Structure 1
Amino acid sequence: MAKKNRDKSSAATGENPRRPCPCGSGKRYKACHGAGDDVIVTRPFEGLAAEPDLVAMREFLPSAVAPLPLRETGERAVRLATVLPGASAALVRPNGEILLGMQVQTRSGDLSADLTKALRWAEAAEPGSALPVVGPGVGEGEVVRLQDLLVADAELDLELHQDFAWWLPADGEEPGAEIAATIERANSVIMPTEALGGEGVRAAYWVDTGTKAHVRWVRPEAEDALMPALARLQAAGELDLGEGSRYAGAFRAHGLLVPVWDVDREMHAKEWAAPAVAFAKRLSQALASTDELTPAERSARDALAGKQITLR
């Protein structure tokens, strides 16, 4: 990645060493992550419209890819992927296309910076190369984050897959026995997943775990704004997604809250699209309310705070 491109990106975002570090430490960027300290960034994708999509790809989407909406494109096409063979951080296709893995063993506490380091490596790597992990010596120099490179208001154009056949280059060549076995093993543990669409619905996914079906919805709001809104709906008896659903709780992922509903496994994923749209409207109204919480709503908020679930 050319330095002049980094400078342009920095200028476009107001990047400077005096700005607060995104890790929330209260220190200046230059004195914290800008100095290479291994500090945990609790909300690594903050400020990007694609934040909920990135969190979903990192945490629970099994097989998905999306073009990376870079401000300045290079000679090689770049796509994000949920997971790559061997959980690699990056690989370069024989045709030069770059794939960056989201579900990897990370080196630092800043997932955003690790992704740009993998991108730096891939831009200079030979076609057919793979980067197992972002480790020492990868992407050294000035710390650059996704926020410095992406179109801030661009969402990801996610393409969900029901298997990992896309791991193979699209050249019609038959895979070797080892590669075929790797894909077969990956396919055997994949959980069927479908996106729920519609007005006001984004980053909401129906997932079949094999014994239960869930709707997992990555919310972009700050938790201190989302929880009172959910409490209002709970107190009004409007927190479910309709008949055949039950609010199960929520889990935190990279600074965002992900509400989860148990849903009737016998119903098709598409049957939850309309209930999700209706819920989005109710939640939008609850988020817009400026009234103090009633005693019933405060009680509901306290109860919801205890309904934290673990993603499995």
Structure 2
Amino acid sequence: MTSNRIQLDRLLYTHYQHPNLHPVKNFCADFGLIEVSESDGLIYFRGFGENPCIYIAEQSQDSKKHFVGAGWAVPAYTDLEKAAALPSASPIQLSTVPGGGSYVEIPDPNGVIIRLHHGVQYKGIAAAERPEPVITNTWLEKPRRGMFQRFERGASRVHKLGHYGILVKQDDFDRTLEWYKSTFSLVPTDSVYDTHSGADIMTFCHIDKGEQFTDHHSFFISASPIGTGGSRVHHSSFEVDDVESQTLGHYHLEKQGWTNCWGIGRHVLGSQIFDYWFDYSGNILEHYTDGDIVNCHTKTSRHPAVPETMAVWGPNVSAAFMTGG
């Protein structure tokens, strides 16, 4: 960990604006998000985990969808003070997002908002919402004796927001990545490079917590495919409790008439089982489970941008996923 950077503790939420909140609210329920509160054109959602808010849906002031940005928790008030001293940063102010505390708002080089929160009041995991672990019999060990597998159909059980990613122009890729790395305690875990130019076109970053293990990536940045414009969100990804819940949620979303973007499959980088869906506004939201965790001893790797780097099994990747919707 480097002292001149702002130390991040965890990713809290992503924030989207939608032209029509009512159908988005229906999608979120079918996706497995739990509504916390609604007021003044804002709806706050949580999962069953400790974070009091993991997704914000806001009424757009025009007929278009917008990605506002993301909220992160920092471990010390001094991190807020350090953030407030940065160019274009807001002063420290009280947060109205569930969980309270104070925050500073910083735009990244492309205008995507980063909100840094301190003093968030985390919630306990309610006993009624705590998923029971699935006991699996394998060829070698069969611990489930005299018990049967019985599952309830319905939405996946969402735990937390795991990561999000943005698309930027190839010309802006290096400087944007450098800004994130030098401003925050984010470290590349894996990068993907173009096989013709040799230039990196995607980088997955984890929170640097030294010896402590953390998710393979909490943030990623990717170069936009040719002709798809400038900076925008690619997707937000939410961890579910297990693959059974994820698969049940897949068929629940399908039954409710929502459109699958790509999945179910198994990624190579990060290893997680993925399932990507379009919400009502056309944003891509992901369910994932069984992702890798890393620490300071994990070496950064580079991989060629070929189909074999994306998934080890699953359906063919969709064109919409490649372009970000």
Task: Assess same fold via TM > 0.5.
Answer: no
Q: As a proportion of its length, which structure holds more strand?
A: 2
Q: As a proportion of its length, which structure holds more helix?
A: 1
TM-score scaled by length of structure 2: 0.31
TM-score scaled by length of structure 1: 0.32
